[in-house]
Structure 1
Amino acid sequence: MIPSCWRWIMSKSYSIDLRERVAGFIDKGQSRRAAARHFGVSESFAIKLDQRRVRSGSIAPHKQGRPRGSGKLEVFEAFLIGAVEAKPDITMPELAALLMEVHSVTAAPAVLSRFLCRRGFTYKKMPDGVGMRTRRRA
């Protein structure tokens, strides 16, 4: 069972149907707090929903999470991919040192590995114990 203090980590937006019903209840002259009690949602949700509707005309939820392509390694994508393709058996600490040497940017080896995995690279171990990064087939 997941502790109740962790619920905020896995939050989901309320459905559009519920949002429409709460907004409709408020439109009929009821207060935002009364709408919250009636539908079993928090008062802050009803208040913020109505404020958002007045400001933007939309009741749709905001996008959640960080936008893609906003990390500090994005501008070095070509450099990193070129370095891995030039030397497929490069280790992540070596790649981090190369990035620091050439561009004066620090990056943890784990961050570099996740970055390359998102670009389709996998780490393959060979029978002799040496590994190399290769691009996945599309």
Structure 2
Amino acid sequence: MGQPYSADLRERVLLAYERHEGGPELLARRFQISRACAYNWVRAARLEGRRVAKPHAGGVPAKLDAEGVSVLRALVREDNDATLAQYRDRLAARTDITLSPAVVCRTLKRLGLARKKDAEGQRARAHGYRCGTCGLPGRCGGPRTGAFGFPR
């Protein structure tokens, strides 16, 4: 997603429109913005009197509140070699908050909580990762192959 247009550009488009230097379509070409953007700016200025962008609405509120974060911290303190799915299930059992493993992972990273690693430096897992090329635990860095054994 691109960056929003500057307030200065919006003001120049609106001033040009008010001076009858052209309609929204002509001004869109002149200022190299989309037609829809020019029409929307003119409409907002005419109907609402608004010449600046609306403030950001804030996004989706977090499911995990301060109490949930403290429960997650306690879970990591109790057992720091659990999988993300196990943390998710234990957190749901204690707080009735259901999260995806990805959200649990991002929360752990944001809090600076590291999960235990095994001797090879890999994250501890219930079922270890095995390399598809050589079959050894972990990633060996060998050539990866795609369909029919051709290199990717």
- Hey, which bits of structure 1, 4+ residues long, moved more than 4 A? 128-132
Pairwise CA distance, 1:129: 6.2
Alpha-carbon shift at residue 25 of structure 1 (Å): 0.8
Task: Give the TM-score, by structure 2 length.
Answer: 0.61
Q: Which residue of 1 aligns with 2:53?
A: 60
- Which residue is equivalent to 2:19? 28
Gaps of 5+ in 2: 125-152
The letter of the residue matching 1:12 is: Q
Residues 34-53 of structure 1: CA deviation (Å, up to 9, x unaligned): 32132222121012122334
- For 1:15, which of 3, 6, 27 is the aligned residue? 6
Greater fraction helix: 1
Tell me, which stretches of 5 or more residues in structure 1 are unaligned?
A: 1-9, 133-138
Residue among 82, 85, 98 paired with 2:77 = 85
Which residue of 2 is the match for residue 106 of structure 1?
98
TM-score computed with the length of structure 1 as normaliser: 0.66
1:43 pairs, out of 19, 27, 35, with 35
Aligned residues: 121
Kindly indicate whether the alpha-carbon contact (under 8 Å) linking 2:84 and 2:101 is maintained by their aligned counterparts in 1: yes
By relative contact order (CA 8 Å, sep 6+), the higher-ranking structure is 1
Q: Of the two, which has the highest radius of gyration?
A: 2
| Two-structure CA RMSD over aligned residues (Å) | 3.0
Change (3 A) 1:62 1:37: farther
